[in-house]
């Protein structure tokens, strides 16, 4: 009997490469208020804890900046229109989801991106394979809290013991730990192997098919 029947994915940096759109919207918001722009690599290191933290890290004074709220709202408005200009699924992801679906696994997405954007992007890119997509809302505590993961497990009518979380960042490792489920870290996203290892990753895989093979062997 296989250990897992449920696979819960992070979205940004795991299924979708959203970095350039996030960077463009961040720099638009910063420029609107006269702040210096951030590089793609800087924004890469800022993402993972939601857009509030992204803007906090992008601003020179962080959340203490008196214009923090305005910059954040400007980012939100711009990203709503800009969230799918350069975004694309990583190579091999659609095939991974199709194979998991065909093999009978239950699949969900749990993300710190705003819930409406998570649902919209999953509908556009993965509507045939992902039915449950959960993002940040006022009602559900975002990662690394376990609440979104528990909501997905409940919606899929499965259990913690038979679920595994797949993500690309230290936030995902901590989320899985807090939820009491296994974690697979992937190296193709926003964090490299060194960061993942230092964060306590137990399993680090390099391709989507590696993920499928690992899950099948359990």
pLDDT at residue number 1: 64
pLDDT at residue number 218: 79
Q: Whole-model pTM?
A: 0.94
**19-82 sits in which CATH class?**
mainly alpha
Neighbours of 174 (CB within 10 A): 18
**CB neighbours of 174 closer than 8 A, spacing ≥ 6?**
143, 144, 199
pLDDT exceeds cutoff 70 at 115: yes
Name the band, by pLDDT with cuts 50, 70 and 90, for residue 117. Answer: confident
Cα 196 to Cα 202: distance, rounded to the nearest angstrom: 9
Q: Which two structure tokens, joined as six digits, stand for 202?
A: 């137990």
Name the band, by pLDDT with cuts 50, 70 and 90, for residue 123. Answer: very high
pLDDT at residue number 116: 87
Q: 100 and 77 in contact (C-beta within 8 Å)? A: no
Fold topology of 6-17+87-217: Rossmann fold (3.40.50)
Average pLDDT over residues 175-200: 97
Q: Write out pLDDT tens, residues 50-92.
A: 899 999 999 999 999 999 999 999 999 999 899 889 999 999 9
Cα 67 to Cα 60: distance, rounded to the nearest angstrom: 11
Mean pLDDT for the chain? 95
Share of the chain above pLDDT 70, in %: 100
| Catalytic (active site) residue 10 | yes
Q: Write out pLDDT tens, residues 128-174.
A: 999 999 998 888 888 999 999 999 999 999 999 999 999 999 999 99
Q: 81 and 65 in contact (C-beta within 8 Å)? A: no
For β-strands 106-114 and 182-186, DSSP reports them as: unpaired
Instruction: State the distance between the two ends of the chain, measured CA to CA, in whole angstroms.
Output: 9
| Residue ranges covered by each domain of the chain | 6-17+87-217, 19-82
Cα 10 to Cα 126: distance, rounded to the nearest angstrom: 13
Q: Write out pLDDT tens, residues 1-21.
A: 689 999 999 999 999 999 999
Cα 135 to Cα 161: distance, rounded to the nearest angstrom: 22
| Candidates 10, 21, 172, 210; catalytic one | 10
HSE, side-chain direction, 13 A CA sphere, residue 48: 22
Q: Write out pLDDT tens, residues 29-46.
A: 999 999 999 999 999 999
Q: 198 and 88 in contact (C-beta within 8 Å)? A: no
pLDDT at residue number 193: 95
Closest CA to 199 of 216, 217, 183: 183
Q: 156 and 45 in contact (C-beta within 8 Å)? A: no
């Amino acid at each position: 009997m296989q250990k897992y029947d449920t696979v819960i994915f992070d979205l940004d940096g795991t299924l979708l490469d959203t970095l350039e759109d996030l960077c463009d919207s961040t720099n638009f918001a910063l420029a609107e208020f006269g702040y210096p722009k951030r590089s793609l690599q800087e924004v890469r290191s800022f993402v993972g804890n939601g857009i509030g933290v992204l803007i906090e890290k992008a601003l020179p004074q962080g959340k203490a900046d008196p214009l923090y709220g305005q910059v954040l709202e400007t980012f939100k408005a711009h990203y709503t229109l800009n969230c799918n200009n350069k975004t694309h699924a990583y190579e091999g992801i659609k095939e991974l989801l199709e194979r998991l679906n065909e093999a009978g696994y239950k699949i969900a997405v749990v993300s710190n991106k705003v819930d409406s954007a998570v649902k919209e992007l999953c509908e556009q890119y993965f509507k045939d394979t992902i039915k449950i997509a959960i993002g940040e809302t006022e009602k559900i505590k975002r990662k690394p809290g376990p609440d979104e993961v528990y909501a997905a497990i409940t919606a899929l009518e499965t259990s913690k013991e038979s679920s595994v979380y797949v993500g690309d960042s230290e936030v995902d490792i901590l989320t899985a730990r807090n939820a009491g489920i296994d974690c697979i870290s992937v190296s193709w996203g926003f964090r490299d192997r060194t960061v993942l290892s230092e964060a306590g990753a137990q399993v680090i895989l390099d391709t989507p098919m590696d993920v499928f093979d690992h899950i099948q062997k359990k």
